[in-house]
Amino acid sequence: MRVEEKDGNVILKNVCDFNIEQILECGQCFHFKKIGEMEYVTVAFERALHVSQYEDTVFLYNTSLDEYNSIWKNYFDMDTDYGLIKERLKCTCDELKDAIQEKSGIRILRQEFAETLLSFIISQNKQISHIKKIVEAISKEYGKIVGVINGEEYYSFPNLEVLCNITEEEFRNLKTGFRAPYLCDAIKHLKEWSEDNSIEGLSYEEAKEKLMTIKGVGDKVANCVLLFGLGYTSAFPVDVWIKRIMEQLYFKKDTPKNKIEEFAKKHFGEYGGYAQQYMFCFARDSKVDMVL
DNA sequence: CTCCAGGTCGTTG
DNA sequence: CAACGACATGGA
């Protein structure tokens, strides 16, 4: 891959294992907007990035090489060799071949911890389109304006200091429903952890246990946060879609979620998170049979 | 109008 | 411990 800066844009040429539509639309993030064919605005790290892709060329508009190197390279996980991961997974797990082939351009975004945590608390029992609306509403109400692209304004997700002052009632007014107290509890914990730095350097198990002390964070949300917001690539969130496709690919019968997670840990190991994303996206897209 | 959505909590058996 | 209903809200 080559990285060039030209006329205030950054261009990535000969990009491998990268499909902007699959990356953003695969349910790992909620703070983006499709503005054209293979053209998006994604909001993260208090910035709005206008990005488009044509074949193996990716355009990052109105940015610089410095910003790419300090922010977007890590956000898009460009230092990870997805070709290698896919080969490993396909070798050991023949069942994944179709999903990987179909969703070959997925990457696991390295998102901010706080936004990921709150977004996935909101996600419970909600459709992705509605999760996006709530994340946008929170950002518009409490975040900063970080860009105007094609006449549309984009707002960053509020930082921790601002989040600390949002009341349960204010969250209810933003249509978060019964999740409002969960969000407040999560913010309280975020504040503690940022003050004593206690979320850093933990093992997967320790971090998961810590996350699950938050009311409203169960096994699935904790795994999503570990994977998308804290970089634990072995995390394997089991939701309805993963349950359906793994029952079809592996178990051939109704199987409890904890059994599925246990199996994934043994079978996929450190690559669990990647395997999960290929399967999730594939299952949701191809509408895997609802029953077995 | 009914059903369900990238679930979790509290309560029962 | 496994099973089950409640929980807010909006879209199909």
Is any atom of nucleic acid chain C found less than 7 Å from the CB of residue A172?
A: yes
Of A21, A42, A39, the C-alpha closest to A31 is: A42
pLDDT reading at A289 higher than 70: no
- Check residue A186 and give its pLDDT: 98
- Check residue A189 and give its pLDDT: 98
Q: How far is the CA of A228 from the C1' of B9 (A)?
A: 24
Is any atom of nucleic acid chain C found less than 7 Å from the CB of residue A127?
A: yes
pLDDT reading at A291 higher than 80: no
**Closest nucleotide to A180: CA versus each C1':** C8
For all residues of chain A together, what is the average pLDDT?
96
Strand B nucleotides below 7 A of a protein CB?
5-10
Give A14: exposed, middle or buried? Use CB within 10 Å, 0-12, 13-18, 19+.
exposed
CB A13 within 8 A of CB A57: yes
Q: What is the mean pLDDT of residues A90-115?
A: 96
Q: How far is the CA of A124 from the C1' of B8 (A)?
A: 8
- Check residue A180 and give its pLDDT: 98
Q: How far is the CA of A150 from the C1' of B13 (A)?
A: 59
Confidence of residue A51 (pLDDT cuts 50, 70, 90): very high
- Report which of residues A244 and A292 the model is more confident about: A244
This model's pTM is above 0.85: yes
CB A252 within 8 A of CB A289: no
- Check residue A8 and give its pLDDT: 97
pLDDT reading at A118 higher than 90: yes
Is any atom of nucleic acid chain C found less than 7 Å from the CB of residue A254?
A: no
Confidence of residue A127 (pLDDT cuts 50, 70, 90): very high
pLDDT reading at A151 higher than 60: yes
Of A89, A79, A100, A106, the C-alpha closest to A18 is: A106
CA A211 – CA A118 distance, rounded (Å): 12
Confidence of residue A290 (pLDDT cuts 50, 70, 90): low
CB distance under 7 Å to strand B: residues = A 26-28, 123-128, 130, 178, 212, 214-222, 224, 237-242, 276-277, 280, 284
pLDDT more than 70, % of chain A: 98
Q: How big is chain A, counted in residues?
A: 292
CA A292 – CA A290 distance, rounded (Å): 6
Strand C nucleotides below 7 A of a protein CB?
2-3, 7-11
Question: Which protein residue's Cα is closest to nucleotide C12 at C1'?
Answer: A127
- Check residue A286 and give its pLDDT: 80
Q: What is the mean pLDDT of residues A135-159?
A: 98
Q: What is the pLDDT of residues A202-241, one digit of tens each?
A: 999 999 999 999 999 999 999 999 999 999 999 999 999 9
